[in-house]
Amino acid sequence: MADLVLGDDHTVFVDALVTVLPQRGLNVLDTADSITGTVRSVRRNKPDVCVLERFFTDGDSLDRMDEIVAAGGPRMRVLLLTADSDAAAMRRAMRAGAIGYVTKMCGVTALVEAVGKAAMGEPVTRLPRFPDGRASTVSARTARAPAPLRMSLTPREHDCLRLLVAGARTTTMANRLGVSSTTVRTHVQALLSKLGVHSRLEAATFAVRYSLLDPPEGDPSW
């Protein structure tokens, strides 16, 4: 039975995992709803695996991966569990020290299998697949959205879409963009209308599938 610390600020999601994972043979030692709290928890509990979200209100966990890994000690492995299904983010996480990368759309069974492999020191990745069977990776992006659609998005809508693809929540987006949560919701609603989708997840999937976002200048992770 692997010992886990869950670092995620989605309370309902965490509560569900705390209930389900022990039924699958995993022992949840503690949970944390911030990066700082996760650092404290892994330092105190020394788990086999830290299952970690990427975005928190106190920052991007990839930017503090060294701190998290050091706090957990040499035996602990970090497994990213996030809504961000972009392959560039996955590569960055693995370079930063994560043993694995799993998206929240892959399901509990895939997560349990990934935790087991991570606990044994085996690298593992699980990205969702499109209905046609293609994985949502950078190399699979062969189609592009029509130019008029791409050009119809305002710079701020592009910013919001990029953060949606990264799995950011409204509060995190507001902090990153320096605007209010209400303003973020307004931009996101306009974005959904222009893309003809009904949810943030659909918008993020659309953006990945049709390469709606250009790689940011100077970003080596793309």
Residue 173 has pLDDT above 80, yes or no: yes
Lowest model confidence (mean pLDDT) among 54-63, 129-138, 156-165, 179-188:
129-138
Task: Answer for the pair 117, 100: CB distance below 8 angstroms, yes or no.
Answer: yes
Task: Answer for the pair 76, 49: CB distance below 8 angstroms, yes or no.
Answer: yes
Q: Domains in the chain, please, with CATH?
A: 2-126 (3.40.50.2300), 155-210 (1.10.10.10)
- Per DSSP, the three-state class of 159 is helix
pTM above 0.75, yes or no: no
pLDDT for residue 135: 43
Among 76-80, 109-113, 146-150, 204-208, the range with the most confident prediction by mean pLDDT is 76-80
Residue 157 has pLDDT above 60, yes or no: yes
Task: Answer for the pair 72, 47: CB distance below 8 angstroms, yes or no.
Answer: yes
Torsional sign, CA 187, 33, 176, 207: negative
CA separation for the pair 28, 17 (Å, rounded)? 9
Report percent pLDDT > 70 for the chain: 83
Torsional sign, CA 87, 92, 95, 100: negative
Position 141, amino acid? R
Beta strands in 63-136 (DSSP E): 77-82, 100-103, 124-126
**Average pLDDT, integer, range 133-144:** 37
Of 211 and 46, the one with more pLDDT: 46
66 to 95, 172, 185: CA distances (angstroms):
11, 21, 33
R_g of the chain computed on alpha carbons: 18
**Average pLDDT, integer, range 83-104:** 82
